[in-house]
Amino acid sequence: MHNQEFFIQALVYLSAAVISVPIAKRLGFGSVLGYLIAGVIIGPFVLGLIGKEGEDLMHFAEFGVVMMLLLIGLELRPSLLWKMRISIFGLGGLQLFISTIAIGGIALLFDQSISEAMAIGLILALSSTAMIIQTLVERGQIKTEAGRSAFSVLLMQDIAVIPILALLPLLATEVASIAGESHGHDSVNMIFGYEIIGWVKVALVLIIITGIVLVGRFLARYIFRIIAQTGLREIFTATALFLVVAIAVVMGMVGLSPALGAFLAGVVLADNEYRHELEVNIEPFKGLLLGLFFISVGASMDFNLLIESPGIILSLLAILIVTKFIVLLGLGRAFGLHGGQGMLFSFVLAQGGEFAFVLISYSLQNNVLNPEVSGILLMVVALSMAATPLLLLINEKLIMPRYESSPDEADADTIDDGETPVIMAGFGRFGVPVGRMLIANGIPATILDNNPDNIDILRRFGFKVYYGDATRHGLLHAAGCETAKVFIIALDDMDKALHIADYIQREFPHLEIIGRAVSKQHAYEYLKRGITNYELDTFNAALHISIKALTKLGFAPYQAHRAAKIFRHHNKAIEKELFEHYQEDEVKYLSESKRFAEELEDLLTTEQNASIHEHDTAWDNSSRIEEIKKLQEEENNSKE
C-alpha cells in the first residue's frame, strides 16, 4: 500500500531524529549536528534507508527556513530593523564582497576560469541561515552583539541571493561570448532584454511588497480576530500556515526569496496583538521542518567522493573555513566586535550555506560550472556546515575562556523588544481593574487573554494585550517571562490558574506569582505551592458591603471602616488554621457538591474558637473613667 511506504519513511526520519538529537544534545553538540548525523546514518552511505528522494525532501524542508525568518521578523520591530541598517548593508555587504573576491581569487589559483571563479566566490560567500540561527537561538546567543551582527550578515545574504540568481546565467553568457563572436549586439540585447523583464519585475516586486505591508498592517488583525472568534485552535494554526505558504507562493511567482518575503511579513506583524499566538503556532512546524532539512543535508553527503579524494576535499574545506574566518574576523573588528564576540561572530559564519545547494545546481544547469566541480563544491559545503557545531564547541571550550569578560559584554547589549515587568493572564472583570491600576501608576503590563473582542479597544488605550490561551507554554515564553518580575494570575478558572502557577514555578523560578483565588480551595492550593501572595477575589468587595451595612445601622463611618480592617486581619489569621485543616483532609474538599457546606462549617467553627482579638480597645476611655471614678470615691470616702 502506498500509505504504508509513507509511514515507513516517516518512521525512519522520526526515529533517527528521536535517537540522535538527544544524544547530540547530551554531548553538548546541539540539535543541528544531531540531525546531520541522523541524516548521515540513515543516508545511502551508512544504512541506506533513504536514497534519492532525500533531495526532494531537502527542497521541501527548506520551507522551514521560510518559517524561521517569519519568526525572526516577528521579533524585530521596524524601528529596530532601521537601527540595524548599518550592520546589514555595511557589514553584510562588505562580507559578501570581500569573501567573494577572496574565494574567487583562490579558485583562480586552482585553474578555474574568471567566470567560474566568480560563481564559486559568490556561492561560497553565503553562510547557512538555518544552521546559524538555530544554533544561536539554542545557545541563547542570538541577542548578543555577535549574534545580532551575524543575523545582519545573513539578512544581507538572503537579499543578495536574488541578484546572484540573476547574475549566474550572465556569467555563462560571458563565457559563450568570449568563446564565440566578438562583442556582438547579441550580448548587449541580452542584457537589454533582461532589463526590460527586470523593469516589469521591479514593478511586480514593489506591488507585492506593498501588498504584504498593507495586508499585514491593516487587514491582518481583523482576519486574525475573526479566526480567533471561532475559538477553534486548529483553524488559527491553519491560518498561520496559510499565511506562510501564501507568501512563499507569491514571492516565488516573481522570483523573490520566500524567506525574505516571510521575514518582511514578520516585521510588519511584529506589532500585531496576535503575534505571540502566531509564534506559538508556527514554532513546532519550523522546528520539525528544519530538523528534516538538516537530516536531508546529512543524507545527501556523498562520502564516496570523500573516500576517492580525501586530500583535495579536506584541504578545500580547510581553505574555505579559514578564508571566510579571516575575512569575518577582520570585518568584525572594523565594526566594533572585539574579543570573544568577534570570535563567535567569525566562527559562526565561516561555513557554506543551504543556498549554495540551490545555486550550485542552478549553475550546473546554466553551464557555469561543470559536474565535477559541482560535486566537490557540494561536498565541501555540506562538510563545512557539519563542521560548524564542532567549531563552535572548540570556540566555546578552548577560545572563549581566554575572554573572561565576554558573558558580560553579551548581557549588556541585548535587544529590547518592549518586554514589560508585569505579565497578567486573564483580562476579564477581575483583570481589568488590576490592569487599569498598573497603567495608572505608569507600569506597563503585558496581558494575555483569549477573548478577542476586547483586544482592539484595550490596545487603543495603551494596554499591551496579546491574544492567546495563557495555559499554553509557548505563549508564556513568548510573552517575556524570562525578563518579567511579576506574574499576575487573574483567571477565573482554578485548574488553569494552578496549571500556569506550576509551570511558572518550574520554568521561571525568579517570577513572583500573585494569584487571584476564586475559592477557599483555590487559596489553599496556592498556599500548598508556597504562593502567599493571593487574594480571594470576592472578599474585599464583601467587606466593603458590610461597611456600608454597618454605617446604615448607625456605626460611625470610621468605626465601621476600622471594624472591617480588623476583620480583614483576623481573617488572615483564621485562614492559616483552615489551611492546616485542608492539608489534613484534602479528600473532603474533592467532592464538589459538599465543598461549600463543609468549608462554611469549618470556617464558622474556627471563627468561634478564635474570635477577634479581644475587643477593639483603641481610643477606649472606659478603663480610665473607671479609674477616675475610683479615685473620686476614695477622695470622698476620706473626706467623710
Binding site for another protein (CB under 8 A): 565-566, 568-569, 613, 617-619, 623-624, 627, 630
**Range 196-205 burial, b when 16+ CB lie within 10 A, else e:** eeeeebeeeb
Q: Find cell 561536498 and name the residue.
A: 379
The helix (H) or strand (E) run that includes residue 425 is strand 422-425
Going by C-alpha positions, the residue among 514, 498, 504 that lies closest to residue 477 is 504
Written as one letter, the residue type at 388 is: T
In whole angstroms, what is the distance from residue 340 CA to residue 332 CA? 11
Q: In what order do the strands lie in the sheet with 445-449?
A: 464-467, 445-449, 422-425, 486-489, 512-517, 534-536
Cα–Cα distances in Å, from 460 out to 78, 272, 273?
20, 12, 11
Residues 514, 486 contacting (CB under 8 angstroms): yes
512: helix, strand or coil: strand
Nearer to another protein, 456 or 635 (CB): 635
> In sequence order, which residues have a C-beta less than 8 Å from that of residue 474 and are 6 or more positions away?
279, 280, 283
In whole angstroms, what is the distance from residue 262 CA to residue 208 CA? 12
Residue 467 dihedral angles phi and psi, to the nearest 5°: -80, 140
> In sequence order, which residues have a C-beta less than 8 Å from that of residue 366 and are 6 or more positions away?
168, 169, 171, 172
In whole angstroms, what is the distance from residue 454 CA to residue 437 CA? 18
For the chain, the straight-line distance linking the first and the last C-alpha, in angstroms and rounded, comes to 123
Going by C-alpha positions, the residue among 516, 520, 564 that lies closest to residue 537 is 516
Q: For the CB of residue 579, give the shortest distance to another protein in the complex, in Å.
A: 20
Kindly report the number of other CB atoms within 10 A of residue 446's CB atom. 23
DSSP 31-90: HHHHHHHHHHHHSTTTT-SS-THHHHHHHHHTHHHHHHHHHHHHH--HHHHHHTHIIIII
181: helix, strand or coil: coil
Residue 111 dihedral angles phi and psi, to the nearest 5°: 65, 30
**Range 322-361 burial, b when 16+ CB lie within 10 A, else e:** ebbbebbbebbeebebebbbbbbbbbbbbbbbbbbbbbbe
Strand partners, 449: 467
Q: Which three cell numbers stand for residue 101?
A: 573576491
Kindly report the number of other CB atoms within 10 A of residue 182's CB atom. 6
In whole angstroms, what is the distance from residue 51 CA to residue 44 CA? 6
In whole angstroms, what is the distance from residue 406 CA to residue 404 CA? 6
Q: Is the dihedral of CA 100, 101, 105, 111 positive or negative?
A: positive
Residues 24, 33 contacting (CB under 8 angstroms): yes
Residues 420, 63 contacting (CB under 8 angstroms): no
Q: For the CB of residue 626, give the shortest distance to another protein in the complex, in Å.
A: 9
Cα–Cα distances in Å, from 81 out to 76, 137, 152, 488?
6, 18, 9, 32
529: helix, strand or coil: coil
Kindly report the number of other CB atoms within 10 A of residue 387's CB atom. 19
